[in-house]
Amino acid sequence: MKKLLIVAVALLGLTSLVGCAPRMLGPMARAAFIGGAVVAGAAVAAHRAHFHHHNCGCPRHYNDGRWVYYYEGSYEYWDPNAGVWYRY
């Protein structure tokens, strides 16, 4: 998610440097914003679509009464009472 934010900020920064045609700044900034929102939405949807199980391939260990999985540089565990995945 941090990489996505960096890309979005870079795109907005590049669109602000259009000095030869300032009238294009509005449409280009809008396009960059909408494109960033679409990419961010797709990244969140792809991450939420994953799930873990005993043979999903992610490294895991048992901690405090639950399985903790290593995924994309952080650890995740499922809380059945809240019905959500927690990352740390």
Give exposure, 36-48, as e/b (b: 16+ Cβ within 10 Å). Answer: beeeeeeeeeeee
**45 and 55 belong to one structural domain:** no
Residue tagged 């960096």 (tokens): 6
Element (H, E) at 69: strand 66-71
**88 and 70 belong to one structural domain:** yes
Whether residue 20 is predicted with pLDDT greater than 70 in this model: the reply is: no
**55 and 81 belong to one structural domain:** yes
- Which tokens in the block code for residue 72? 């994309």
Of residues 74 and 19, more confidence is placed in 74
What is the pTM assigned to this prediction?
0.43
Q: Is the sign of the CA dihedral 61, 63, 69, 72 positive or negative? A: negative
**3 and 39 belong to one structural domain:** yes
pLDDT tens for 21-48 read: 556 666 777 777 788 877 777 766 665 6
DSSP 20: S
**1 and 40 belong to one structural domain:** yes
The parent domain of residue 32 ranges over: 1-49
Domain tally, the chain: 2
**30 and 70 belong to one structural domain:** no
Say how far apart CA 42 and CA 8 lie, in whole Å: 14
